[in-house]
């Protein structure tokens, strides 16, 4: 029974593998609205050149400068919004706790009682 089942599975799997071959072809869309399909480039088509190394570097530098400007603007916006929140809070009367006028005092020294002795009384210094 098992050999028959194995043969049946293999017989079904072989045609499936034969149909899954990957084929690719370059297709160019030409004509109005790209309805004319060709296997070669369209006549009168425009080819694009790769940018030179200098152009790539200039574009990268512009991108970095724009990113720095954006970060500076975002920082300025956050500072402006924080100032506006502070001013609104003062106008409404929602102020935070007042700043401490003087630093906190030193901790108080507490005298500890002498330890109890076995006779129930405090030990006396000799």
Strands 36-38 and 28-30, bridge-based pairing:
antiparallel
The whole model's pTM is what?
0.37
- Cα separation values, 12 from 2, 7, 16, 18, 79, Å: 15, 9, 7, 11, 70
- Mean pLDDT, consecutive 10-residue stretches, the chain (126 aa), reads 75 64 80 84 76 93 96 96 88 64 68 73 55
Provide the pLDDT for residue 53.
Answer: 92
pLDDT at 73: 97
**DSSP conformation class of 38:** E
Q: What is the pLDDT of residue 95?
A: 59
Domain boundaries defined on the chain: 57-92
């Amino acid at each position: 029974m098992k050999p028959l089942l194995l043969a049946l599975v293999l017989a079904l799997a072989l045609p499936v593998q034969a149909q899954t071959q990957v084929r690719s072809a370059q297709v160019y869309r030409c004509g109005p609205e790209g309805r004319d399909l060709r296997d070669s480039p369209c006549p009168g088509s425009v080819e694009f050149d790769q940018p030179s190394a200098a152009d790539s570097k200039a574009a990268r530098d512009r991108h970095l400068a724009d990113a720095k400007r954006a970060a500076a603007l975002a920082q300025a916006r956050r500072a402006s919004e924080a100032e506006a929140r502070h001013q609104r809070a003062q106008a409404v009367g929602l102020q935070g706790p007042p700043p401490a006028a003087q630093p906190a005092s030193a901790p108080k020294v507490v005298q500890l009682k002498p330890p109890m002795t076995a006779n129930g009384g405090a030990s006396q210094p000799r």
